[in-house]
Structure 1
Amino acid sequence: MINKKTTLATLTVCGVLALSGCTLNQMVKKSKEQKVAVTPNPLEVHADQVKFTAEATLPVKMLKKKTTYTGNIAYKYGDKKTDVGSIQFNAADYPNAKKESPVKSQEFNFPYQEDMRRGELTFTGTAAKGKKSKVSPELAIAQGIITTSRLAQDAVPVVYAETGYNPDPEYKPTYVAFYFDQGKSALKTSEVRSKRGKFLDAFIADKNVTKTVTVTGTHSPEGTERKNKFLSDDRAKQIEKFYRQKMKQYDYKSQADSVEFVLKPVFEDWTVLKDSVNSSTILQQEQKDQVLSIVDGGGEWEEKEKQLEKLAFWKTLFKQVYPKLRNANTEILTLVEKKTDAEMSAISKRIVEGKDTVGALSEAELAWSATLTPIVEEKQAIYAVAVKNYDSWQAHNDYAATQLEMAKKSSDPAKKAQLADDAITHLETAKTKQETAEVYSNLATAYTIKGDKQKAADAITKAQSLTGNDQVTKAINATKGVQQIRAAQYSEAAATLSQAGDDASVLYNKALAQLLAGQNDAAVATLNDAAAKDASNGDIYYLMAVANARAKKEADVFTNLQKAVQNKSSLREKAVDDLEFAAYKDSEGFKNSLK
């Protein structure tokens, strides 16, 4: 009896297991009808992440009672595989699975590695009931990976400090004042023979290159002065006459014709009196306040004049302040004498060679002389002199800038890194002397060259917080724009790079940002501008081919690919594997464009 019961129980379990196995077999067989849609397809990398949405749809009647179906997603590339995640269907969650297809959508992402460029996303289903399971055949659900976002090129702008030198013509003012007797406009002999008169005589005799002579004639407020409304004008004319006589005396000839005389007669204007009262050392503050109260108060000129005459200290005002108002102030603008660019270049060369003292040029002139040579090594030698003799933040910044220029051109990784390190040393010194946008912008470039993205980003953030000139602002934006592209902030990057100047490299990165932001037409227009500035840049044409591929302009794809590989042969191999051109890779036009 016991044996019969045991046998019956065993048969029951075996039957259940057989039924379970049959159910799983049916599910796996039915899974051939499953659909898995991936968006985007092909996969794309953005900000070093591959993100996608997978939507799995199971066929009706596939999901059986008390079962689960798990779709395991992986990315396979070469002989490697990265498990990405899974989508799980639980029969209890889909009570209408006999009549309606179970559907589930889920977002996934995985970090991108350089060797993942070509591969495929796979979906492997596992049907399970209790402890039993059965695996469905592997299904390829998407190709990978489009890497266009990684085409951004490092922005490594180099910023030199302002030299402080102005190469344009500059004029310096010289001031001379002549005083007149009350109610008179005749220039007194005593004035001509005074120190002021002799100074002006000697000044004119030196034949300084003069742009303008501005003479402002004034009068004091009392009646005898005010009633002659032409007095101020006449006084100004007297100085002009004197000046012209002296130019004739000293044989200015045609040079005199280039001197412009500007006469400014001042009539019934209290400004000169107010200025004189405020600067007076004779009047007490209370007296000054009384004068200013009358002048700034209401009433006509004559009323104010009479009120001033009633002041207890009127005689002091009349004898000590008023005479200084009866004058003609002369401002002479003369050309500042400067060394020519050729002279400064020659002198700085002698300084570098030790054949002249550093004092032969000012610091500003020395810095300016460095801008006159296109040879980086010559610039560096000049800035080395500036570092040694002036030790200013500008000198250290500019010396570092030349090291960065050399690092950019070097093809030796070790030398490139060493130059960047040396530049950082000088920039850190410059930073301790004065924190400037120029210094931090160059630090960002140095760290970019070294591959330290975080320090480069920190330096740019700091540079943005400081005030810089237009050149610095463009450099900061060029670097920041690339950082935004790599952070998948494409619209922001396009806007930033629009404020970074119009160098070919800037325009290239701007076009990439526009393309990735979905602004295809704008990207093509920007690339055309970039090609106009650098017609031999293969990367520009390659990106243009990508933009045309997205716009389905086949002929333009082939034309630009041909230009790309003609200018940069390494792009040939890249194009063959680039999924941007998947729709064209089997065509004769595509093959011919890569020959």
Structure 2
Amino acid sequence: MIVIKKSVAVNVLFAVFIFYSCNQAQVIKKADNQKIEIHPNTLERLGDSVRFSLEVRLPNASLRKNEVYTLRPVYVFGNEKHTFTNSIQVSGDTLDPHESIELKGNFSMPFTEGMEKGTMYAQSAISRKNQEIAGRVPETVLTHGIITTASMAQIGQYRGQESLPVLGALISIDSEESMGMLADGWQALEDRLAGYSNLPYAEKAPFLEVLKGPGDWTYKKKQMEGLPHYPIVERDVLSRFETLFGRQLATRDAGVSEIQRAILARNIRQGTVPADTLTEVGLAIAASKEPGWTEQEALLRAMEEVYPSAYVYNNLGVVFLNLANRVTDVKMKNQYLENALFALNRSNAIFENPHAVYNLGVVFWLWEDKFSAYNNFYRALALTRSDRLTKRYEAALGAVSIFNGDYRLAAIHLNKAVQNPVNLFNQGLANLLAKDYYNATVKFEESAIQNMSNGFPFYGLALVAARNGEVDKLYENLRKAVSRSEYLRQRALVDREFGLYHEQQRFKDILRSQSLADHE
């Protein structure tokens, strides 16, 4: 009797095992019949993130009422993994067994260095009562790598160029742009307005309010044009102030030769003579003559002690920007950028001016906060009517718009910028990403003609050729690009734009031959 019971128990356990195994196999098979599509097929960095969507199709009656299907993407790069917090999930209780299952989900992940060469997988499983059924489907490969072409947009960051570019906007002491920026601010003009006897104070007050407000001289003058009595104020006060401005600067630095100024500036840097041994203008001129950024910093700090002004804080901020652009240590770079932020905010605290606002945008650009960078560039554009400054700010707005994925807006901004090699390259980049390959080619070629030693426009032409399948043009321009820039050679090795060519011998030979040439 006991033997019979044991036999029955064994049979029951065996039946349960067979049922479980068959059911597990069925679950795996059901999940394995899934069809997953990722859009876009090749991931692309837009701004500081990577965004994509997934579509999943499962056969009819794939899920029982007590089963839940879950799909979660995972991105693996190097030794790191990004696991998404959100997933695509559906319960069999909510489905019609006679209809196929179609699921969609949108995903986003922050971009970090090294993600260019990675793989996106899909992890899918079926569970019952929050317990995953053993034997999940193997991870499905969705796509390889991330295109980062938009991040090639340039404002002046260092990328292996022969000479380090100058970041930000220094104010020249002898330019109209320095009006109102020195230690006395707009005091001289305020005094002239206050002493102007052809109008009562009530009529002059709006002009004084404009002077105390934001913007450079071009902006303030434009604001004044809408005020009553502007024609006579412009004739009797404003135009005369503009005429006298240059003469006043020359007078402030009179009696000091260039050699004397250079000697005194060196002594001021070394701390052997007081900072006010030179006039404000003399110190500003001396700082502008110094070829080194650390020497400029020393003179501007001395100038800050005795002649604090919107001018000195702006230029000090630019010095810190360029020091940040010349170091590789992250901690030191961030410290310089913090110093720049502090100096530029002090410049704006005296009065909000387009120079310091623009330079704040460059600080945020280097910190990769492109949203704040765009806002500051746009604000700088609003604070001036200077044609030269406007073109600079339009160029910066165009570069940030490329990075953020708004290529049409980028083209609008860049068409208003100076047509120099950098801006032409950015125009070509915007056209390339908008799939306007004809105009991309034109702009890249124009950029190359202006500066044949720059590898970037040739790299752009190689990108156009790769997208068009023009193999000979691709290799011709890629060779020119990497022979001019080690940065571009390293980029080409992992650039998903060249994914179809990475394993071709001709591609390898171009990059290998350049690498060997660098070591000869």
Give the letter aligned to residue 138 of structure 1.
E
Contact preservation (8 Å) 1:376, 1:406: no
CA distance in 2, matches of 1:415, 1:73: 37
CA distance in 1, matches of 2:328, 2:128: 61
Q: Is 2:508 aligned against 1:507?
A: no
Closer, same or farther in 2 for the Cα pair 1:79/1:572, shift >3 Å? same
Give the letter aligned to residue 498 of structure 2.
F
Give the letter aligned to residue 489 of structure 1.
D
Equivalent runs, 1:70-89 vs 2, <5 Å: 70-84=70-84, 85-89=86-90
What residue number does 1:525 align with?
442
Q: Which moved more, 1:52-61 or 1:406-415?
A: 406-415
Closer, same or farther in 2 for the Cα pair 1:564/1:350, shift >3 Å? same
What residue number does 1:108 align with?
107
Closer, same or farther in 2 for the Cα pair 1:140/1:379, shift >3 Å? closer
Aligned to 2:358, what secondary structure does the other structure show? helix
1:562 Cα deviation from its structure 2 partner: 0.8
CA distance in 2, matches of 1:412, 1:9: 70
1:580 Cα deviation from its structure 2 partner: 1.4
What residue number does 2:180 align with?
none
Give the letter aligned to residue 420 of structure 2.
D
Closer, same or farther in 2 for the Cα pair 1:346/1:411, shift >3 Å? farther
**Identity fraction in percent:** 27
Count of aligned residue pairs for this structure pair: 421
Q: Which moved more, 1:544-553 or 1:508-517?
A: 508-517
CA distance in 1, matches of 2:5, 2:403: 71
Give the letter aligned to residue 562 of structure 1.
R
Equivalent runs, 1:228-307 vs 2, <5 Å: none
What residue number does 2:148 align with?
147
Contact preservation (8 Å) 1:164, 1:364: no
CA distance in 1, matches of 2:308, 2:15: 93
1:133 Cα deviation from its structure 2 partner: 4.7
Aligned to 1:115, what secondary structure does the other structure show? coil
Give the letter aligned to residue 40 of structure 1.
P
5+ residue gaps in structure 2?
A: 158-166, 177-197, 199-243, 266-274, 514-520
CA RMSD of aligned residues (A): 4.7
Contact preservation (8 Å) 1:57, 1:102: yes
TM-score of the two chains, using structure 2 as the length reference: 0.64
Contact preservation (8 Å) 1:23, 1:64: no
CA distance in 1, matches of 2:255, 2:421: 30
Equivalent runs, 1:469-488 vs 2, <5 Å: 469-488=386-405
What residue number does 1:550 align with?
467
CA distance in 2, matches of 1:123, 1:413: 34
CA distance in 2, matches of 1:416, 1:123: 38
CA distance in 1, matches of 2:126, 2:377: 53
What residue number does 1:259 align with?
none
Contact preservation (8 Å) 1:159, 1:472: no
Q: Which of 479, 484, 489 is residue 406 of structure 2 equivalent to?
A: 489
Contact preservation (8 Å) 2:74, 2:122: yes
Q: Which moved more, 1:63-72 or 1:541-550?
A: 63-72
Contact preservation (8 Å) 2:261, 2:286: no
What residue number does 1:158 align with?
168
Q: Which moved more, 1:393-402 or 1:507-516?
A: 393-402
Closer, same or farther in 2 for the Cα pair 1:365/1:88, shift >3 Å? closer
What residue number does 1:569 align with?
486
1:593 Cα deviation from its structure 2 partner: 2.5
1:437 Cα deviation from its structure 2 partner: 0.8
What residue number does 2:457 align with?
540
Closer, same or farther in 2 for the Cα pair 1:553/1:492, shift >3 Å? same
Aligned to 1:135, what secondary structure does the other structure show? coil
CA distance in 1, matches of 2:40, 2:405: 16
What residue number does 2:263 align with?
353
1:106 Cα deviation from its structure 2 partner: 2.4
Closer, same or farther in 2 for the Cα pair 1:563/1:427, shift >3 Å? same
Give deviations 1:309-330, integer Å, cap 9, x for gaps.
Answer: xxxxxxxxxxxxxxxxxxxxxx
What residue number does 1:95 align with?
96
Closer, same or farther in 2 for the Cα pair 1:477/1:24, shift >3 Å? same
TM-score of the two chains, using structure 1 as the length reference: 0.57
Contact preservation (8 Å) 1:31, 1:59: no
Give deviations 1:395-426, integer Å, cap 9, x for gaps.
Answer: 55446545655655567777766665665565
Q: Is 2:358 aligned against 1:441?
A: yes
1:566 Cα deviation from its structure 2 partner: 0.5
1:54 Cα deviation from its structure 2 partner: 1.8
Aligned to 2:460, what secondary structure does the other structure show? helix
What residue number does 1:137 align with?
138
Q: Which moved more, 1:417-426 or 1:544-553?
A: 417-426
Give the letter aligned to residue 39 of structure 2.
T
What residue number does 1:35 align with?
35
Contact preservation (8 Å) 1:128, 1:134: no
CA distance in 2, matches of 1:460, 1:48: 18
1:551 Cα deviation from its structure 2 partner: 2.3
Give the letter aligned to residue 121 of structure 1.
M
1:104 Cα deviation from its structure 2 partner: 2.5
Contact preservation (8 Å) 1:507, 1:527: yes
CA distance in 2, matches of 1:345, 1:414: 45
Q: Which moved more, 1:574-583 or 1:12-21?
A: 12-21
Give the letter aligned to residue 522 of structure 1.
N
Closer, same or farther in 2 for the Cα pair 1:63/1:435, shift >3 Å? closer
1:13 Cα deviation from its structure 2 partner: 9.3
Aligned to 1:116, what secondary structure does the other structure show? coil
Larger radius of gyration: 1
